[in-house]
Amino acid sequence: MDFGLSFSYITEDEEWIKKILIAAVLLLTGIGGIVVAGWFAEIIRRVANDDASPLPDWTDFGGYAVEGLKIIGLSIVWSLPIILLVICNTVITFGGASFASGDAAEVMGTVILVSTLCIYALVFIYAILLILVLPASIAILATGGSFGDAIRQAFPTFRANIGGFLLAAIVGSLVVSVLSSVGVILCVVGTYLGMAFGYAVQGHLYGQAYKAAKAALPAG
C-alpha cells in the first residue's frame, strides 16, 4: 500500500481544488452525497485500472448518481443482518415487557438482558467483519462487477489481500474522520472539505487494495 500516493495524487491534479470543492458542496447538501459516492467509486475504478488521471472530473453527475445509488444499495444489503438483529431485539424487549407481570416480569427481565447481550455481541462481530469485507465488495461493484458478483466474490477477494483491505479500511476511515474533524476549524464548510479530501484518499486506498487482490486471485 502506497499511503503517500493516496494523498499526493490529489494535489498533483491541476484542478484538484475545484474537484474537491465541488465534492464538498455536494456533501453539504446532503442528497449530493449520493453523487459523491459514485465519484468515490470512479476513483476506485481508475486506480484499480491504472488510469493516468485517478481524480475524476465532474462532467458526469448522472452517471455518478447511478453508481452512488448502487454503492448505497450494496451497503444496505450487507447491513441487513444488523438491521434484522436490532429489530429482533426490539421485538423481544418490548414484547416481553408488555406481557410479563409479577414473578414472570423478573424472569422476563433476565431473558431480555441475556438476549440483548447475545444479540449485540453478534452485531459487534458482524460489524467488524463488515468493515473489513465491504471495501472489497464495493471495489468489485465499482470496477464493473454485478451486484451478485459484489456479494459472492467479496470474501475470496478479501482473502486474496487481507492485509491490504485491512489497512485500507482502517486508514481510510481514520483519514476521513481526522480530516473532517480538523475541517471544523474552518467552520462548517471546512468539515465537508475535509470529508471530500478524505473520501478521495480512501477511494485510492480501496483501489490499491483491490488491484493487489485481483492480481493474487486465480485467472478467471
Sorted by where each begins, the domain ranges of the chain are 3-216
Q: Coil, strand, or helix at residue 1?
A: coil
Cα 138 versus chain centre, distance: 8
Residue linked to cell 474533524: 181
pLDDT tens figures, 9-59: 999 999 999 999 999 999 989 899 999 999 999 999 999 999 989 999 999
Q: Is-above-0.85 flag for pTM?
A: yes
Comparing CA positions, the residue from 219, 183, 214 lying closest to residue 47 is 214
With a pLDDT cut of 90, the percent of the chain lying above it is 63
> Which residues are CB-neighbours of 4 under 8 A, at least 6 positions away?
none
Contact 36, 20 (CB under 8 A): no
SS3 state at 122: helix
The owner of cell 463488515 is 130
| Range 121-150 burial, b when 16+ CB lie within 10 A, else e | eebeeeeeebebbbbbbbbbbbbebeeeeb
Across 59-63, 112-116, 144-148, least confident range: 112-116
The position carrying cell 485510492 is: 204
User: Does the pLDDT of residue 86 top 80, yes or no?
Assistant: yes
